[in-house]
Structure 1
Amino acid sequence: MRARARGPQQSRGRFDSQRLAEVDEVEGPIPEEEPEEESEDEMDSDDEDDEESAQNAQPYMSLMRSLVESAPHKAKRRKLDHSSTEESAKRSKTKPASNDVDMDGEPQDGDADLVDEPEEAPEEIDAPEEVAPEDLFDLDDNLDTTDPFETHISAPDDAIVQPRLRAIKAGNWRTERVTSKGTRIQVNVPNVDGSDGWSMPAPVNGIADLKLKKKLDETLSKKHATFDLVEQTIAPFLFDYQDVLYCNRTVASADSARRITCLHALNHILKTRDRVIKNNARLAKDNGNVDVDISDQGFTRPKVLILLPTRNSCVKMVDMLCSLCEPDAQEHRKRFDDTYVEKDTRFSDDKPDDFRDLFAGNDDDMFRLGMKFMRKNVKYFSQFYNSDIIFASPLGLRMAIGSEEEEKKVDYDFLSSIELVIVDQADALLMQNWEHVEYIFEHLNLQPKDMHDADIGRIRRWYLDNNAKFFRQTVILSAFNTPELTELVRTQCFNFAGKARLQQECPGVIQYLGVKARQTFSRFDAKSIAADPDARFSYFTKAIIPMLTKRAKDATGTLIFIPSYLDFVRVRNYFANSSDLDSVTFGTISEYADVPEASRARSHFLNGRHRVLLYTERAHHFRRYQIKGVKRVIMYGLPDNPIFYREITGGYLQKSEQALMLEPGQGTVKVMFSKYDVMKLERVVGTQRAAKMISEQGDTFDFV
């Protein structure tokens, strides 16, 4: 089953317990942590150490006490005893990995989700005390006060952070707007009294302008030392750890956007990993007697979450990561290729480029995948609590988390320490179930229910203070902006470094239809966004329906495009039940129509048996039907994707002209819009025209 066939049905359906069981069998369950047995002497001595350290950390005393009481055996500081590699290997087989296990070079075996493929030989790594620290991590891993990783994640300055946190919690943001290289930039930053104001981040033209890990710097300097325009636009905000909403993602720029975000994710993962390795070696050298505070971890290991629409999108992201880090080996790559890579093309050659980019290859929208980075290797299908990066579709991750309505235990602790979220192709996720995305964000950076063998002494203080969401960076890549994306950024993004929206001015698509047609835009008034659906339906029944019923034969060839399925049901029921429309036959194609049903509707519309065809935006997104016989297009609402406007108006009318069913220039387009459609309107008519059409007194605008 594929996303094109079942994506819309899943987008509004309930969870299927049988499907969940099948997915868990394939993808692997999230493991339950098993306690580590230890002697009473060890527990007593370590509890005394923790009690003493807790007295020196009053702001989170209550949290530490509750964690120790709920899991006393996990509250101890982990001993770094590497006297025997044999004993180390034995421990790795008898208990699940902790937050930083394998960060110190210990290979892990026995993952529960690797039952259908033999375990590959683990990488042989010497114990830390037998290897010089400089061989375990890059020499550039020393503290650099100009490195955004240090100032934002590793060693933030409380004098800067705390005032910003107070401003964010009070909802006090300041908005700055600038234009750079043709891109409109809107930045929201915490409004701190006495601050010097906001300034643009330093420009980034290539890797020389970034604080990259030595390994990444060496790799990219050979093949991609200079960034293109898309990378230069995103990089200053991305590597400054600000939240980014990039609204100009296209098929042509997809690789550039993917490469710069993958580079940032890898840089973050490697710096986090090497910092832990360095501190492990330091503790091992001093037998754990280190006076300085070593805080280098979160509650759990996963640090990066990447949300994607299809398995094929996951393949592209994984391949980009591997091309940047160039691992010596990729464990379980064959299994990944078998379950994620699909080279067969299942659709005709007339599909547009954006459709091919999204649905080519394996278009299954139900998946989740953990990836773990070791010294020289990467490992696929690692359990979530052992992973550095989690790739998932919203549906796949939602089912992994579970629901209170299901028998499966709800578990979102693996999202507690996510520091970077990348949402790629967000415009495609909007066509799935956006509620899954909102659900996932609501469960990010919550305090975990269990300790999962974490070392409390090494957890960063802002995790313990429940401030993780203020340090998390969110990056959203979309072809366009929508109210849903804007609301997600407003309600779920609280980055103390600020958040930036990058968007180019829209020239509009009305002049690129490829056919001459009269386009009439009619504005109706709605008192509020909540009243918009009722006002739209009222205008439709009073102003549009009389055009169809005045002379029924003139209604032949009318396509009514309806973006929302709820509006579609309302209009369909009106056509079926209203006595005013008894003489107007109609057919329907929605996202829930199967292929035979849609074929019949198209056939009846072409031969005139159905004078009117009701057509939804999601049906067009997942199918891209080539509908023939269209003479008039009525848009109940504008589509989010401006490409759809061009395809449905210009493309369909042009086919009718070529088939001699419509005289050239006789096609018409009627569009309904309100002031709450300004984002959609801007992409269709252009930024400057949209502002006038929303504010002018007249309510009808004609374009030829």
Structure 2
Amino acid sequence: MAAEDANSATTKLLTLLNVSALKSRKRVRAIDDSHTQTKPSKRKRPIAFTEDDALETTPTTLQEDANPASDAVNADDESYDTKHGDPEDATSLHERHFGANPEALTERSRLQVDQSNWKTTREKVGALTVVASLLPESTPLTKMLAKKTAILERLRKPFLDRQAKQQQERIHVQNDLLSILSANFDLYHPAIPLNHHQCIREAIALHALDHVTKKRRRILKNNERIFNAKNGSEPPEDIQDQGFTRPSVLVLLPFRSFAVQWINALTSHTPPPSFQIENHSRFLSEYELPPDAVDKLATAEKGTYPDDHVEMFKGNMDDNFRIGVKLTRKSIKLFAEFYGCDIIFASPLGLRMSIEKEKSADFLSSIEILVMDQMNAMAMQNWDHIEHVLSHMNKFPNESHDADFSRIKPWYLDGYSAYLRQSILLSPFETPEMRALYHRKLKNIAGKIRVEKVWPVLEVPGSLDPIFTSFDCLNPQDEASKRFDYFTTQLLPKILKSAVQSSNTIVFIPSSFDFIRVHNYFRKQTGLDFTTLSEYSSNQDISRARQAFFTGKKSFLLVSERFHFYRRYKIRGIRNIIFYALPEHPQFFSEFLSYPFLDDGVDSTDVSCRVMYCKYDWFRLERILGTVGAKSLMQGYS
């Protein structure tokens, strides 16, 4: 099967090369005729150039004029001022990793990555405790991070000026992250505090902008070398500086409101009058709330809603979007065509729908930096969308898209781009799916770094003492079935025998699949009066269910974690709480334990709480009991 896949990839690449060769012959013409337009592709509308796009001093190369949507640079891409002086270190790290011939990309290094042969160490990077996974022959982490952050001077200086106005804590956070990112490591940060989100976005946006700038500078320099070659002489051969397609940065986000925050972070490094934001009014009209809409979360008095809920859901909550951003000499162009942009901001759902509609994911073939922000929210949407998008990353394109294969970097043609792609994963906490993605999908030969956090014990209201009940499970694939069997045969029968515990009882169920399974079980049982609250409940259903439970008409209330994530309602009438499994979001645990005390005259002795868990619930236990407490509980479990 592997041999068949390799042969298929080779056949596809050879086909693309042949198509490209035929197209390139058709495009040969004299320099003086460089402004002649070629026939546009049936699949893509050619990009129209304004007078501002015309070259001022140096004509374009033959390819870039014929193919405005390709990775070649157009005149307005001379944004990156090749004459501006920068220290050699500002580009050396970038060239060593993303250049045409990375020294570290060898057959041995690829084999070690495929075999997960990582050398893992735990070290300190500034204020961060990190777990670094490097290939055995790699330079030690401390030496690789010792160099000054390699950001271009024209970007670094304005950034430092803005940093001077920030709190020292945020400055240290940004510098620590940039030192990791500048060394081209993959970064997995699953412990981002709420007040650090914005400063982290600004640092990563600067890194992405710096990456695109260096890439475009290299292409511009090679364009100039080709143009300066004497007539009739062979052009320079070391000009492999592109991918199959132009987009090189992908940022996955859960809602449109986060796209607004990321665009703001990006444009903070490109302020006017040096840069203009094209189509900005259209962007605000489509990605912010309509002018007549009232954002209850943003305008509510502080404390009305939890801070994390306000931060997550203020603004436009639409989860189906995708937008291309092109960086030019004088502007940032929003709503650029995918094959003519540098950065793509999209939701997993929006990108998946685009892939399925076009039956192509060629715009993901040359992604060199992948950013996934607010992964906890994307996990509450549909993790399968993320898996679908990642399965199409860094694959051979189905069409040539008028690419000049003589300028494509060899490691793209060899199918090794996944070994050089830098991935940046961000979340306030981690889940097994995130950790699995970190271990299985990140193949960066430079290494990968995971930020580690020692979790404190979560504060719970009053003197409640939850009872943690374990069940045996030896295989993670059997976890859902074992949990259901224990709940229906052991825990629930005991509860139904007690008159006190079989009324005013809420069952919190994190997984949607488990929720459906338990819901169906309750429906089949006679004498069980219950109601439900899920992410699919209408406002009328929610009002009816809450009222029935509060008045005692319904003894049991089944609640899914997604319902609480999106709605965050306070539920009254609770006296008994069953956590079918601990919530992914740790604050949900303390919130549900506080709800019984919304009613007058309730004492902690009137409230019971039971928690089901197994050894595969480590991440959730750690966030509730603290790292030390979870280890102690697990030792007793084993």
Q: Same fold (TM over 0.5)?
A: yes
| Residue of 609, 612, 616 corresponding to 1:672 | 612
- The structural deviation recorded for 1:305 is 0.3
| Residue of 360, 366, 369 corresponding to 1:417 | 366
- The structural deviation recorded for 1:171 is 3.7
Q: Distance in 2 between matches of 1:276 and 1:79?
A: 20
Deviations 1:337-358 (A, max 9, x none): 1101127314565221111111
Q: Distance in 2 between matches of 1:678 and 1:436?
A: 25
DSSP-derived class of the 1:555 partner: coil
Aligned position for 2:248:
303
DSSP-derived class of the 2:443 partner: coil
Equivalences for 1:53-68 in 2 at 5 Å? 65-68=14-17
Change (3 A) 1:134 1:320: closer
Whether 1:209 aligns to 2:148 is: yes
Does the CA-based 8 Å contact 2:460-2:593 persist in structure 1?
Answer: yes
Equivalences for 1:345-424 in 2 at 5 Å? 345-347=295-297, 349=301, 350-402=304-356, 408-424=357-373
Corresponding letter in the other structure for 1:285: N
Corresponding letter in the other structure for 2:345: F
DSSP-derived class of the 2:531 partner: strand
Q: Distance in 2 between matches of 1:82 and 1:154?
A: 28
Whether 1:126 aligns to 2:71 is: no
Q: Distance in 2 between matches of 1:410 and 1:67?
A: 17
Whether 1:646 aligns to 2:586 is: no
Aligned position for 2:6:
none
Q: Distance in 1 between matches of 2:23 and 2:308?
A: 50
**Structure 1 stretch 142-151 or stretch 558-567: which is displaced more?**
142-151
Aligned position for 1:607:
551
Does the CA-based 8 Å contact 1:299-1:416 persist in structure 2?
Answer: yes
Change (3 A) 1:218 1:237: closer
Q: Give the number of equivalent residue pairs.
A: 599
Does the CA-based 8 Å contact 1:507-1:686 persist in structure 2?
Answer: yes
Change (3 A) 1:64 1:563: closer
Equivalences for 1:189-228 in 2 at 5 Å? 189-191=134-136, 195=137, 198-200=140-142, 209-224=148-163, 228=171
Q: Distance in 1 between matches of 2:262 and 2:79?
A: 31
Q: Distance in 1 between matches of 2:372 and 2:305?
A: 25
- The structural deviation recorded for 1:170 is 3.6
Aligned position for 1:620:
564
Aligned position for 1:495:
444
Corresponding letter in the other structure for 2:235: V
Whether 1:687 aligns to 2:627 is: yes
| Residue of 277, 282, 295 corresponding to 2:225 | 282
DSSP-derived class of the 1:609 partner: coil
Equivalences for 1:75-90 in 2 at 5 Å? 75=24, 83=32, 88=35
Change (3 A) 1:341 1:648: same
| Residue of 456, 461, 475 corresponding to 1:514 | 461
Q: Distance in 2 between matches of 1:626 and 1:398?
A: 35
- The structural deviation recorded for 1:632 is 1.7
TM score, norm. by length of structure 1: 0.79
Aligned position for 1:561:
508
Does the CA-based 8 Å contact 1:145-1:151 persist in structure 2?
Answer: no
Aligned position for 1:187:
132
Q: Distance in 1 between matches of 2:104 and 2:423?
A: 24
Change (3 A) 1:134 1:356: closer
Change (3 A) 1:415 1:237: same
DSSP-derived class of the 1:531 partner: helix
- The structural deviation recorded for 1:544 is 2.1
Change (3 A) 1:318 1:697: closer
Corresponding letter in the other structure for 1:637: A
Q: Distance in 2 between matches of 1:270 and 1:676?
A: 44
Change (3 A) 1:575 1:168: same
Whether 1:254 aligns to 2:197 is: yes
Whether 1:588 aligns to 2:588 is: no
Equivalences for 1:406-485 in 2 at 5 Å? 408-485=357-434
- The structural deviation recorded for 1:640 is 0.8
Whether 1:321 aligns to 2:251 is: no
Does the CA-based 8 Å contact 1:141-1:271 persist in structure 2?
Answer: no
Does the CA-based 8 Å contact 1:506-1:683 persist in structure 2?
Answer: yes
Change (3 A) 1:548 1:637: same
- The structural deviation recorded for 1:557 is 1.7
- The structural deviation recorded for 1:79 is 6.1
Corresponding letter in the other structure for 2:265: M
DSSP-derived class of the 1:476 partner: strand
Equivalences for 1:259-278 in 2 at 5 Å? 259-278=202-221
Does the CA-based 8 Å contact 2:90-2:150 persist in structure 1?
Answer: no
Does the CA-based 8 Å contact 2:470-2:637 persist in structure 1?
Answer: no
Change (3 A) 1:220 1:381: same
Does the CA-based 8 Å contact 1:136-1:277 persist in structure 2?
Answer: no
Corresponding letter in the other structure for 1:256: C
Does the CA-based 8 Å contact 1:98-1:454 persist in structure 2?
Answer: no
Q: Distance in 2 between matches of 1:323 and 1:491?
A: 34
Change (3 A) 1:144 1:162: farther
Whether 1:578 aligns to 2:514 is: no
DSSP-derived class of the 1:639 partner: coil
Q: Distance in 2 between matches of 1:697 and 1:374?
A: 59
TM score, norm. by length of structure 2: 0.87
- The structural deviation recorded for 1:438 is 0.7
**Structure 1 stretch 377-386 or stretch 340-349: which is displaced more?**
340-349
Aligned position for 2:180:
237
- The structural deviation recorded for 1:134 is 12
Q: Distance in 2 between matches of 1:369 and 1:258?
A: 18
Change (3 A) 1:555 1:197: same
Whether 1:175 aligns to 2:120 is: yes
DSSP-derived class of the 1:375 partner: coil
For structure 1, the 5+ residue unaligned runs are 1-59, 102-106, 111-119, 403-407, 699-704
Corresponding letter in the other structure for 2:597: Q
Change (3 A) 1:523 1:380: same
Change (3 A) 1:77 1:301: farther
Deviations 1:320-370 (A, max 9, x none): 100112252111111111101127314565221111111111110010000
Q: Distance in 2 between matches of 1:308 and 1:467?
A: 26
Does the CA-based 8 Å contact 1:413-1:447 persist in structure 2?
Answer: yes
- The structural deviation recorded for 1:300 is 0.4
| Residue of 469, 472, 479 corresponding to 1:525 | 472
Does the CA-based 8 Å contact 2:132-2:141 persist in structure 1?
Answer: no
Change (3 A) 1:159 1:570: closer
Two-structure CA RMSD over aligned residues (Å): 3.0
Corresponding letter in the other structure for 1:401: I
Change (3 A) 1:637 1:65: closer
For structure 2, the 5+ residue unaligned runs are 1-8, 61-74
Equivalences for 1:528-539 in 2 at 5 Å? 528-539=475-486
- The structural deviation recorded for 1:266 is 0.4
